[in-house]
Amino acid sequence: MMKRRHFLTTTSAALAAGVLPGCSGRQKNTLRVYSWADYLDPDLASRFEKEASCQLRIDTFDSNEAMYAKLAAGATGYDVLVPSSYMVKTLIRENRLQPLDHANIPNVKHIDAAYLKRALDPAMAHSVPYMMAPTCIAWLGGKVSEAVPSYRMFDRADLKGRMTLLDDMREVLGAALRSLGFSLNSKDPAQLALAREVAARWKKNIAKFDNEQYKSGIASGEFHLVQGYAGDLLQVADENEDIVVKIPDEGTAFSCDDLCIPKDAAMVDLAHRFIDFLNTPDVAAKNMEFIAYRAPNQGAYPLLSEDFRGNEALFPSEEVFARCEPIDDLGDALGLWSRTWDEVKAS
């Protein structure tokens, strides 16, 4: 089984707080990273600090929109950002990122070429893929009879009040669009109107929209069916063997979080070194096993455990992966999506 994360250790608790043991105030360089919570193996963070003779500080966000709002409000001082690919496109469009110098990131040669064909920044001009995973559905095998890996499950009356959907318009409306056979990045008003009806119907059947408690909820048996991120769900499935994690038959979103350097970064050389470090095959493999997400790093794949490499949620077949889509930047359609989501939440 995949290694479980033990976040209450001294090192990991310090990492979550943004500073690691052994980091001396005498050190000249501090690398400030703005990322998702619990998204780096603390042992690897300590290793980078030692190798680069620096201090690593990590601030965290819980959504791309929260990260963007903070930057838009004038927050500065970060050297590395870890947004999802669609948000990277927004940041590029607004000239908030600087181009990457590949000469200082030689390990980009290990990035999975098959993934880059579908990446939103395939030339890695401003970003390097970090971790990816599909959005999945999970259920308790002992509680849900006649289960199928399909969004149709959210219409089941026998599961009413025992299900959750993500509190995320891109994920829920995207799932509704996929259930109707449309692209999850559709900008067509008529298609979004149909997706709104589906999502509103699901809303009446679920316990709540939720981004955090679905993990502990399905692990404890409070929820019987949830929509969630593969990495999170695989972690709790490692502790509760009754949890089944599947990619929906209709297809799903797959998200990739990318490493990029903001325009006003102070430690540009150190930021490049950090990005290169994370793409070293042995580092990427160890990090994957720790956080239960997939780094699209071909050099790391042979170093993974057989159990991890064989996980069909993280390494789906080509046929299944073809039905998955990256969440893309909506551009001028963002307002339409936001209004549609507001209507679902108010229904």
- Which residue range forms the structural domain that includes residue 197? 133-253+316-346
The encoded tokens of residue 5 equal 């994360």
Does 3 fall in a domain? no
Give this prediction's pTM. Answer: 0.82
Q: Are residues 108 and 243 in the same domain?
A: no
Domains: count for the chain: 2
Q: Are residues 163 and 263 in the same domain?
A: no
Q: Are residues 182 and 324 in the same domain?
A: yes
Does 266 fall in a domain? yes
Which pLDDT does position 14 carry in this prediction?
A: 45
- List Cα–Cα distances, 198 to 6, 31, 318, in angstroms: 38, 45, 28
Which pLDDT does position 2 carry in this prediction?
A: 34
Find the distance separating the first CA and the last CA of the chain, reported in whole Å: 42
Which pLDDT does position 203 carry in this prediction?
A: 97
Contact yes or no for 281/266 (Cβ under 8 A): no
Does 247 fall in a domain? yes
Q: Are residues 215 and 122 in the same domain?
A: no
Q: Are residues 124 and 147 in the same domain?
A: no
Contact yes or no for 108/124 (Cβ under 8 A): yes
Q: Are residues 229 and 128 in the same domain?
A: no
Does 1 fall in a domain? no
Q: Are residues 239 and 323 in the same domain?
A: yes
Q: Are residues 39 and 179 in the same domain?
A: no
CATH number of the domain that residue 81 is part of: 3.40.190.10
Which pLDDT does position 13 carry in this prediction?
A: 40
Give the model confidence (pLDDT) of 303-314 as tens digits. Answer: 999 999 998 889
Q: Are residues 187 and 145 in the same domain?
A: yes
Which pLDDT does position 3 carry in this prediction?
A: 33
Q: Are residues 124 and 265 in the same domain?
A: yes
Using CB atoms within 10 A of its CB, is residue 56 exposed (0-12), middle (13-18) or buried (19+)? buried
Contacting residues for 70 by C-beta, under 8 A, at least 6 apart: 61
Give the model confidence (pLDDT) of 235-274 as tens digits. Answer: 899 889 999 999 999 999 988 999 999 999 999 999 999 9
Q: Are residues 159 and 108 in the same domain?
A: no
Q: Are residues 154 and 284 in the same domain?
A: no
Q: Pick out the chain residues at pLDDT < 70.
A: 1-28
Which pLDDT does position 24 carry in this prediction?
A: 44
Which pLDDT does position 133 carry in this prediction?
A: 84
Does 274 fall in a domain? yes
Which pLDDT does position 28 carry in this prediction?
A: 65
